Each structure stands twice: as structure tokens, then as C-alpha cells.
Homo-oligomer: A and B are copies of this chain.
């Protein structure tokens, strides 16, 4: 059911950027969205999630700010930066290429070209 972490490794940052491209959001919600959106197949661990946010922020791909909720737990919101948007465009392109090559390399075809 669940997809192992190593299969996603390298795409976690892209997944997060992609979520933020839809608008500002915060960690906990993003994580739930990813889980729901993947039908439960992807369950990002919190440690992995927050580590990734730190990394992306340090790289300038996202910015963060504290929400002004006056009830419930505090939330740290994230915004996609212009640099992050560019990175996302690049990552999506890389994904298409990777997908194509992996289809060719591990596809169940007999052989080709």
C-alpha cells in the first residue's frame, strides 16, 4: 500500500513546492493533503517534512511566517518564492524526463530500438 521512502526520495522537495504553488499553507495541512491526494500511499513523516522545509527555506525556495490564529496550536505558514517557482518548473521537467527513462529501463517490454 504505502510507497517506500526511497522511491520518493528526491521528489519530496518537489512535492512540497507543488503544494505551495496552490497557495500559502502550513506543514500539518500540507502533510494531510499529500496523504489524501495520494490515497494514503504517501505518508511523509513529520521529521522528514520539517527537515525539508528547513532545507527549502535555506535554499531560498520558500519563506515562512507565523499565522495569527488566536485559537488552537500555532501554525507556521510557507510561501513559494520566485526562486522556488523556478525550481518547481525545473523539477517538473526533470520528472518528465525521469519518468520516460524509467519507463524504458524498467518497463516490462521485451526490448526496444
Contacts and interface: CB of A to CB of B under 8 A. Distances in A.
Interface of A: 3-11, 14-15, 18, 22, 34, 37-39, 41-42, 91-92, 94-95, 97-99, 101-108, 111
20 contacts: A3-B97, A3-B101, A5-B10, A6-B10, A7-B11, A7-B98, A8-B98, A8-B102, A14-B106, A15-B106, A18-B106, A22-B111, A37-B104, A37-B105, A38-B105, A41-B101, A95-B102, A95-B106, A99-B99, A99-B102
Given A6-B10, A92-B106, 19 more contacts: A3-B97, A3-B101, A5-B10, A7-B10, A7-B94, A8-B10, A8-B102, A9-B9, A15-B102, A15-B105, A18-B105, A18-B106, A22-B111, A34-B105, A38-B104, A39-B101, A42-B101, A91-B106, A95-B102
B10 A4 contact: yes
